[in-house]
Structure 1
Amino acid sequence: MSIVPICELKPLRNDMKIKVRICRMWRPKIFGRQNQFNGLQCVLVDELNDAIEASILEADYERVAPKIKAGCIYEITQLHSRSNKRTFKVVPHTAQVFFNGKTTYKQITERPPHIPKRGFYLVDYSELLSRVDKVEILTDVVGRITAVQPLEDKTHGLRQF
């Protein structure tokens, strides 16, 4: 089976092999529930610097999480893809891949190919304000500190009810 580049991944496929670096992993918490999680999310990047989001359901977390590690490169098979969610995407890709207990991960340990350690979709600062109320793709802001001042108490003088 030949390796499919991320740019060629389409929704509703399950006959593929990808070669990617897992550049970011996180466990989303379920809103409003103490210490309950909703699986595992990953950002995958390939040699062409394309990225795609991967998801693992909570039911598969215990079987999958010990097999993968952020920063490592893998050949991954027995995965499937679906359409990416319409809002709150992490990367601008039409598909999203899903791993489960049957997914296989072959870590590439020999001299790895050049696959970036992270993927960013930077936006010019002048365009940032136009994205404030848009939820199609999540926006991180990178900035720099220009001044440091002591903290001020802004609640002084406010009436409490």
Structure 2
Amino acid sequence: MAITPFKELEIGRQSQSICGRLLRKWQAKSFHQNGKIFSLDFLLLDQQSTLIQVTIPQYRAYRFRDDLHEEKVYNISEFQVDASYGKYKLTDHLHVIKFLDGTIINPIKETSPPIPNEMFRFRQYNELWTLAGTNHHLPDVVGELTKIQGSNLEDLSCDEKITLYLLLADGKNVRVMVWDACALEFRKLYATIVGKATILIITAVNPKSYGEIVKRR
């Protein structure tokens, strides 16, 4: 079966086959149901550097979870294509892919030309300000870490909120608030970056505006 570029995917359950690199994988949780896990999601990138989100319902995720690994390349077929979600978008694609009971995944070594190892959707301050409070897109940010606020920063078991201050390339300052699993991960990094000039990449932030500061959640 011929490989379909992500840009050419059609809505429905037509016989379509794709090839892409798995960039990031996570469990999607419901904030309205005490963190209940409702799907396994990941981002997939193809040879044309097009990014698309893939979702697997929780009741189906156990069948695929152990076969999907970040940075690996896969051929995938027998899936469904739906319109993308109206909120909390992690890509600019108009569609999302949903796994079915009969979805087939096959790991491959590489492609020619190779698929990039990473892709980000960086946004500057003015773009973040436009998105603030809309819950529409969850972009990525990169900036110099200028200040850290939080308690128990050296306690690797603590998931209390941490506030990070970033200086963006356009000279604007933003606050990034992280907690739970993200706060745990940052505390693991803390000992290696404290007192050093550090550039941070933070993915999937939810811009919120407070006066002249754009806050991330």
Shorter chain as denominator, the TM-score bin is 0.7 to 0.9
2:15 is equivalent to residue 15 of structure 1: yes
Structure 2: runs of 5+ lacking an equivalent: 152-217
Q: Distance in 2 between matches of 1:51 and 1:17?
A: 15
**Are the counterparts in 1 of residues 22 and 72 from structure 2 also a CA contact under 8 Å?**
yes
Identical positions, percent: 26
Quote the residue 2:75 is aligned against. 75
Q: Distance in 1 between matches of 2:66 and 2:148?
A: 42
Task: Decide whether aligned partners of structure 1 residues 67 and 112 sit closer, same or farther in structure 2, where only a CA change above 3 A counts.
Answer: farther
Q: Please, which moves more after superposition, 56-65 or 11-20?
A: 11-20
Secondary structure in structure 2 of the residue aligned to 1:129: helix
What is the number of residues matched between the two proteins?
A: 151
Aligned-residue offset at 1:117: 1.9
Q: Please, which moves more after superposition, 125-134 or 109-118?
A: 109-118
Quote the residue 2:133 is aligned against. 133
Aligned-residue offset at 1:18: 0.2
Aligned-residue offset at 1:144: 1.3
Residue identity in the other structure for 1:38: F
Residue identity in the other structure for 2:36: Q
User: How does 1:111-126 map onto structure 2 within 5 Å?
Assistant: 113-126=113-126
**Are the counterparts in 1 of residues 122 and 142 from structure 2 also a CA contact under 8 Å?**
no
Task: Decide whether aligned partners of structure 1 residues 150 and 110 sit closer, same or farther in structure 2, where only a CA change above 3 A counts.
Answer: closer
Secondary structure in structure 1 of the residue aligned to 2:53: strand
Per-residue CA deviations over 1:67-86 (Å, capped at 9, x if unaligned) read 21111001111111011111
Aligned-residue offset at 1:103: 1.0
Task: Decide whether aligned partners of structure 1 residues 4 and 111 sit closer, same or farther in structure 2, where only a CA change above 3 A counts.
Answer: closer
Aligned-residue offset at 1:149: 8.2
Residue identity in the other structure for 1:99: F
Aligned-residue offset at 1:135: 2.1
Aligned-residue offset at 1:140: 3.1
Q: Distance in 2 between matches of 1:23 and 1:59?
A: 23
2:8 is equivalent to residue 5 of structure 1: no
**Are the counterparts in 2 of residues 11 and 95 from structure 1 also a CA contact under 8 Å?**
yes
Secondary structure in structure 2 of the residue aligned to 1:38: strand
Structure 1: runs of 5+ lacking an equivalent: 152-161
Aligned-residue offset at 1:124: 2.7
Aligned-residue offset at 1:118: 2.0
Secondary structure in structure 1 of the residue aligned to 2:63: helix
Quote the residue 1:94 is aligned against. 94
2:62 is equivalent to residue 28 of structure 1: no
Q: Please, which moves more after superposition, 86-95 or 132-141?
A: 132-141
Q: Distance in 2 between matches of 1:150 and 1:41?
A: 30
